[in-house]
Amino acid sequence: MKTLLVTGGCGFIGSNFVRWQLQSYPDVEIVNVDKLTYAGNLENLTDIEDDPRYRFEKGDICDRSFIDRVLTSASIDAVVNFAAESHVDRSILDSGPFIQTNIVGTQVLLDASRKAEIGRYLQVSTDEVYGTLGDNGYFTEDTPLAPNSPYSASKTAADLLVRAYFHTYGFPAITTRCSNNYGPWQFPEKLIPLFISNALADQALPVYGKGNNVRDWIHVLDHCRGIDAALRSGKPGEVYNFGGNSELTNIDLTLKLLDALGKPRTLIRHVEDRAGHDFRYAIDTTKSEHELGWKPEMDFETGLHSTIDWYLANSAWVDRIRSGLYLDYYENQYGTRLA
Ligand code: NAD
Ligand code: TDX
């Protein structure tokens, strides 16, 4: 597995994956295709942009002739598809870009990769395709698909296309489904980086509803190791779940963040709940542990503190994002404009 085509490599998980691959495998070469939407940021990879094993191609995964050209411009061994619209709240405001990139983009990549006879394709998916859990139980790879948001519906449609390409054409595709990631370079619209950034600016932390919803947090590098394991030793046609064994209610996580930052609890604002808000996600990782030899390594307290340290040290990165269109999005979503 020498040359990888990574899509969405300028986003949060994709950029961590590209860096981790280059650090972990001296022989690997990476072509990174990214449209540079609001979430794509060339700054996420400035430290490796001059590495001769790395090449960036700006473009859209929905653009078939562009993808055909990239796939034939190098001898690509595998495609790893991170490119997506990824924020649930934005999908509630406008599902259009989610249908286009997450579904049509995946179909274009699958079709172009099949025609180019790519030896392996990995679809980076999410636990949200399984819907929601009550107080008990875990998602396994056999849990029925029951997406509840436009975002998760679009990711589910993409997963079903991947499944169909394997069954219809024998196309060697693998799907991975992961719980909530956290870590460096995460766009500050998602809970952890948003609340760190707001708290550091002494702005209110908007907790949806009572804050009793539960998420299972995994460090982004544990997710990257899982994707790598599935890519190298997973079986075509299979699905592999990853999770962090770190379930927390949103309000407990918020309190932890405020305590770690030395900020007062008076910053918490309970705001209107997210429409259709999934109550709980939790992952059974038995299959990935047994078949891929993978398990999460980062303890949540350690990972959270190192993430907070990263945001403290990279306030200029955050400040450049929290301007312009970001402020408009924030006002539209939360009804208040950031000062
Ligand atoms: P992100 O929003 O930070 O990054 C997405 C990247 O895709 C950006 O760089 C963006 O510019 C690029 N992109 C968007 N549309 C594109 C298009 N049409 N063509 C080319 N590039 C395009 O997202 P993320 O959090 O890094 O998530 C990456 C993947 O992992 C997504 O597929 C997401 O569904 C999945 N995932 C995310 C999480 C999580 O907790 N963040 C958990 C499980 C799965
Ligand atoms: O302002 C907020 N207030 C709040 O209470 C935000 C942004 C979120 N929340 C809650 C909603 C969720 O219960 O925090 C929890 C986490 O929210 P997000 O960070 O938006 O993540 P989530 O909706 O759980 O989805 C994430 O995990 C699965 C990623 O964004 C997806 O891309 C991934 O597939």
- The phi and psi torsions of 240 (rounded to 5 degrees) equal -130, 130
Q: Which two tokens stand for residue 15?
A: 């950029």
Nearest atom in ligand 1 to the alpha carbon of residue 44 is 9
Confidence (pLDDT) at 339? 78
Residue whose tokens read 């299959």 = 287
Q: How many domains does one find in the chain?
A: 1
- Whether 24 is covered by a domain: the verdict is yes
- Residue 279 gets which letter from DSSP? -
pLDDT beyond 90 at 310: yes
Domain with 71 in it: 3-182+217-242
Helix (H, G, I), strand (E, B) or coil at 15: helix
- Residue 99 gets which letter from DSSP? I
Q: 170 CA to middle of ligand 2, Å?
A: 35
Express each pLDDT in 181-207 by its tens digit. Answer: 999 999 999 999 999 999 999 999 999
- Whether 234 is covered by a domain: the verdict is yes
Residue whose tokens read 């009793």 = 212
Express each pLDDT in 4-57 by its tens digit. Answer: 999 999 999 999 999 999 999 999 999 999 999 999 999 999 999 999 999 999
- Whether 226 is covered by a domain: the verdict is yes
Ligand 1 proximity of 101 Cβ (cutoff 6 Å): yes
- Whether 162 is covered by a domain: the verdict is yes
- Whether 187 is covered by a domain: the verdict is no
User: How, if at all, do strands 247-249 and 205-208 pair?
Assistant: unpaired
From the list 316, 329, 319, the residue with the least C-alpha distance to 38 is 329
Mean pLDDT over residues 293-310, rounded? 98
- Whether 95 is covered by a domain: the verdict is yes
CATH of the domain at 96: 3.40.50.720
**What single letter denotes the amino acid at residue 153?**
A
- Is residue 74 a contact partner of residue 31, using CB atoms and an 8 Å limit? yes
Mean pLDDT over residues 292-309, rounded? 98
pLDDT beyond 80 at 1: no
- Whether 252 is covered by a domain: the verdict is no
Of 60, 128, 189, 278, the active-site residue reads 128
Mean pLDDT over residues 172-180, rounded? 98
Confidence (pLDDT) at 243? 98
- Whether 18 is covered by a domain: the verdict is yes
Confidence (pLDDT) at 271? 98
Average model confidence (pLDDT) across the chain: 98
Mean pLDDT over residues 250-265, rounded? 98
User: Distances in Å between the alpha carbon of 261 and those of 128, 201, 255, 303, 308?
Assistant: 30, 11, 10, 15, 8
Helix (H, G, I), strand (E, B) or coil at 157: helix
Of 54, 130, 151, 330, the active-site residue reads 151
Q: 87 CA to middle of ligand 1, Å?
A: 9
- CA angle 57–26–186, rounded 5-degree value: 50
- The phi and psi torsions of 77 (rounded to 5 degrees) equal -90, -35
From the list 283, 246, 250, the residue with the least C-alpha distance to 125 is 283
Express each pLDDT in 84-133 by its tens digit. Answer: 999 999 999 999 999 999 999 999 999 999 999 999 999 999 999 999 99
